Structure 1
């Protein structure tokens, strides 16, 4: 299956359908749809040229710069869900970076991935993107759980509990909830959906068996990265829900 630059423009007909439905149902999403379409198109085109340059240069420094950019953008996006927490951006960035180093380091050490830009950059993007979702979900659940359990937490603090002891139950629930989507996806993969990487390889002409092997590797990697990032962000961020005087923030 091949696409010319001209025929690719016809794909924007799908966006037109979304716009028309939004107008018909008066959803007010026309601006968001238009901005999302333009941004995704421009960003993908730009990263395509950047990756082509990096792949040909085969320089470790370009790989490091790209991964650092991915971590920064992902941390900024996830941190927007906890904007009221001072320093949350750096804690998320730290968690994403450590998750990337551990996960990719094991993949390279076990020779499951060839240490070349063609493998390191796409897989790093998937690992960081998956961990970003986990961190965002963690912040959402922590904010909601902390507010609903405010009375319980403040009662424990008044009885002499440390912030960690007072928020431990909330912390566990938030970590668990942030990881559930990843493992739910693993339960239904291949039955409900065919993942993007596997589908892309098959469309590109690779053997379905070979594509499945790579997808299994990716999903198992996601399970590890989800656990690492969820536990890390909980360990380094829970104190942000308290003031310096160990009082629960309003």
Structure 2
């Protein structure tokens, strides 16, 4: 109980400090995760319309990460309410969560029994190789300096980086942008949608001089489609794993 009260105090103090400093406009723009109207209902999306999608997203992420037997610990940045952070333990990975949003973390502390940190992903407060891997699940789309974030991830994560991404090539792309245009979906207003090809180009720029492999797979196809996962760059979501080959 004392630990929970202490954590609540820290989060509340952080919220006050962020708002006082004007950091609701982190990265020079308004972000949905600094708005409680959005963060307070975040978990409901996964319990409702995205329940089926979440199942397939976790499936592809597990397939990618489980191939690297070196990964036992993981830092998930942009962990939000820890929807996926809580899940890593189910596949045998000890996870820590990091996020810049105190509103997200105020929920996470009641849902997640592991460690949490409030920090900017561009400046991760960890020593080199603190974790076996870094994870970004539907959060990398919001970084204005993705090259810097990948370099930080490669510094802190020793063996690899796993990424779950909203795909640009999807039957729902027009719907996404239509919702954004009419202000019906705040989650997409500042999102940059990648394809596996465009994301790999960013990774290659960030990791010049490193030896690594990249593997990806796509899901989020229409329910009526004969397959729900494939290695073509079409679908609502793709998982990608960067495996470093130049470390022991």
* TM norm structure 1: 0.28
**Greater Rg, structure 1 or structure 2?**
1
Q: Which has the larger share of strand?
A: 2
Q: Tell me which of the two structures has the higher relative contact order, counting C-alpha pairs closer than 8 angstroms and 6 or more residues apart.
A: 1
* TM norm structure 2: 0.28
